[in-house]
Structure 1
Amino acid sequence: MEPADAVTPVDPVARIEAGPEGPQIGVFFDLDGTLVDGFTATAHAGDRIRRRQARIGEVTGVIEAAMRYRLGRVNFAKLLERAAGYLRGESLADLDAVGERLFQERVQSRMYPVMHEIVLAHQRRGHTVVMSSSALTIHAEPVAKFLEIDHVLCNQFEVDAEGRLTGRIARPVIWGKRKAAAVQEFCGRHGIALQTSYFYADGNEDIALMSLVGHPRPVNPRRELAAMAAARGWPVLRVENPGKGNHGGLRGVLK
């Protein structure tokens, strides 16, 4: 892992451009809170409410589940399946189209421009760039498509033979240690060494994967991840909210 002097701000793009190149270097990006300000799924929930597609029980149920999850009283898999249950019987193709529409209407404006620059910098170096997220495909894939990220590791709805949602999530659920395992499996298939790879993420649940890569990059980290970054000397990337008129500018990377 890299040492930290916690004093001098460093331009992350310049550091990437000065580093090695080649597809043997993996670069893994979380989605919510890392590439995009907030949670992409909220755009879908809000759209269903505005279009009166969401029943009262759905709205209150998702809010309750989200609150219980934040308090540590429900696991992530159950939270996803609660949401999937409300969409049971929906066509996945139709939901994919909704995801594309909402990306253009709601999500694209919430992307951090500086993170886009970082993605581009890694792509110019010929690195293998991957979105590794606990989001569902309908939320993750439109962002990956816009950023020209070819590889996506994320959660998927279970569908029946007709392409309609069963109300369940395909197993295993990618989150926490399982996300780390999915990345390790990907690296094994593509000849990528974790010790030369990068991981950009904000969540406490991402500590497992952050601890495995040679270039950990916490982005606006939450409390536990921030504490771990301070303890291990990981460089921390601070980016501004793109909705506050500052264009997602760089606040600094601490070496």
Structure 2
Amino acid sequence: MTVEPALPAELPAAIAASPRGSQVGAFFDLDGTLVDGFTATAHAGDRIRRRQARLGEVTGVIEAAMRYRFGRVDFAKLLERAAGYLRGESLAELDDIGERLFRERVRSRLFPAMHEVVLAHQRRGHTVVMCSSALTIHAEPVARFLEIEHVVCNHFEVDADGRLTGRIQRPVIWGRRKADAVVALCQRRDIALADSWFYADGNEDIALMSLVGQPRPVNPRRELAARAAAEGWPVLRVTTPGRGSHDGLRGVLK
């Protein structure tokens, strides 16, 4: 397996030595874990460049990106704000935009080392799951590219014509709610959390990180890093070629 130097040699060896089969889960956060930064900024930046965004939306996006960078995002409020800006839009058209922006702007921000980790779990026949607080239009293109079959994420509420109502389906996948959604998935698919892995960067992911047998913080923010040190969780440090990590504003300003 070819990996970045930043990926410890013990990780590929540990995955290769783990039990085979779908009863083992490999759960991956998206923003800051599989992708460098905040995927939603690619869509926000596109709307700004095309002059589709109002002033309040522009300032809201920059504020959200800064809060993400410093780990101060209230995702429920952020998602409700985003849904409000897009009220009346066609979900099918937004899906197409999400796929285009993945090709144009997000694909180059994938962490190569984390792609290798996904592949390593897939080779073991593990149930690989993207579990993210992102919306479908941002999460699903990445999952398709990485051939991740299962996605737990947030969904826009739509009307009978497939247009956004301005609300998010409940419950919002975030923090403890994300952990609850993953536990429910494990129960449905007979996945053993004690044998499973979870890769994430955010403080809000401590709840789920504490449930799996193989926690792996990736470029962890302060609170998660402190918890990892206290618990002895192995920490991964990864980058994209020629870039630092966790630049939440890149997708807006590029």
TM-score by shorter chain over 0.5: yes
Residue 41 (structure 1) aligns with: 40
Question: Are the counterparts in 2 of residues 134 and 154 from structure 1 also a CA contact under 8 Å?
Answer: yes
Provide Cα deviations, 1:11-35, integer angstroms capped at 9, x if missing partner.
3222211221110001100000000
Residue 3 (structure 1) aligns with: none
Kindly state the Cα deviation for residue 68 of structure 1 after the two structures are TM-superposed: 6.6
d(CA) in 1 for partners of 2:62, 2:84 = 14
Secondary structure, aligned partner of 2:61: helix
Kindly state the Cα deviation for residue 83 of structure 1 after the two structures are TM-superposed: 0.9
Question: Are the counterparts in 1 of residues 75 and 133 from structure 2 also a CA contact under 8 Å?
Answer: no
Kindly state the Cα deviation for residue 238 of structure 1 after the two structures are TM-superposed: 1.0
d(CA) in 2 for partners of 1:71, 1:26 = 29
Kindly state the Cα deviation for residue 240 of structure 1 after the two structures are TM-superposed: 1.8
Residue 167 (structure 1) aligns with: 166
Provide Cα deviations, 1:78-103, integer angstroms capped at 9, x if missing partner.
11101110000000000000000000
Provide Cα deviations, 1:36-63, integer angstroms capped at 9, x if missing partner.
0001001000000011111112212333
Question: Are the counterparts in 1 of residues 201 and 221 from structure 2 also a CA contact under 8 Å?
Answer: yes
**Paired amino acid for 1:12:** L
Residue 253 (structure 1) aligns with: none
d(CA) in 2 for partners of 1:128, 1:20 = 12
**Paired amino acid for 1:86:** Y
d(CA) in 2 for partners of 1:45, 1:206 = 24
Secondary structure, aligned partner of 1:239: coil
Q: Report the identity percentage.
A: 80
The runs of at least 4 consecutive aligned structure 1 residues that moved more than 6 Å come to: 68-74
Secondary structure, aligned partner of 1:135: strand
d(CA) in 2 for partners of 1:174, 1:163 = 21
Question: Are the counterparts in 2 of residues 218 and 234 from structure 1 also a CA contact under 8 Å?
Answer: yes
Residue 75 (structure 2) aligns with: 76
Secondary structure, aligned partner of 1:154: strand
Residue 101 (structure 2) aligns with: 102
d(CA) in 2 for partners of 1:98, 1:199 = 29
Cα–Cα, structure 1 residues 233 and 73, in superposed 2: closer, same or farther, change >3 Å? Answer: closer
Normalising to structure 1: TM-score of the pair?
0.88
Residue 155 (structure 1) aligns with: 154
Which structure 1 residue ranges, 5 or more long, are not aligned?
Answer: 1-8, 246-255
Kindly state the Cα deviation for residue 213 of structure 1 after the two structures are TM-superposed: 0.3
Question: Are the counterparts in 2 of residues 111 and 242 from structure 1 also a CA contact under 8 Å?
Answer: no
Residue 5 (structure 2) aligns with: none
Residue 251 (structure 1) aligns with: none
Cα–Cα, structure 1 residues 242 and 69, in superposed 2: closer, same or farther, change >3 Å? Answer: closer
d(CA) in 2 for partners of 1:241, 1:192 = 31
Q: How many positions carry a matched residue from both structures?
A: 237
Cα–Cα, structure 1 residues 243 and 100, in superposed 2: closer, same or farther, change >3 Å? Answer: farther
Larger mean CA deviation between 58-67 and 218-227 belongs to 58-67
Residue 252 (structure 1) aligns with: none
Question: Are the counterparts in 2 of residues 35 and 112 from structure 1 also a CA contact under 8 Å?
Answer: yes
Question: Are the counterparts in 1 of residues 20 and 126 from structure 2 also a CA contact under 8 Å?
Answer: yes
Cα–Cα, structure 1 residues 18 and 64, in superposed 2: closer, same or farther, change >3 Å? Answer: closer
Cα–Cα, structure 1 residues 195 and 109, in superposed 2: closer, same or farther, change >3 Å? Answer: same
d(CA) in 1 for partners of 2:10, 2:108 = 23
Question: Are the counterparts in 1 of residues 28 and 200 from structure 2 also a CA contact under 8 Å?
Answer: yes
Cα–Cα, structure 1 residues 66 and 39, in superposed 2: closer, same or farther, change >3 Å? Answer: closer
Alpha-carbon RMSD across the aligned residues, in angstroms, is: 1.8
d(CA) in 2 for partners of 1:133, 1:35 = 10
Normalising to structure 2: TM-score of the pair?
0.89
d(CA) in 1 for partners of 2:241, 2:83 = 30
Residue 144 (structure 1) aligns with: 143
The 5-angstrom pairing of residues 54-93 of structure 1 reads 54-64=53-63, 75-93=74-92
Kindly state the Cα deviation for residue 167 of structure 1 after the two structures are TM-superposed: 0.5
Residue 121 (structure 2) aligns with: 122
Residue 236 (structure 1) aligns with: 235
Cα–Cα, structure 1 residues 199 and 18, in superposed 2: closer, same or farther, change >3 Å? Answer: same
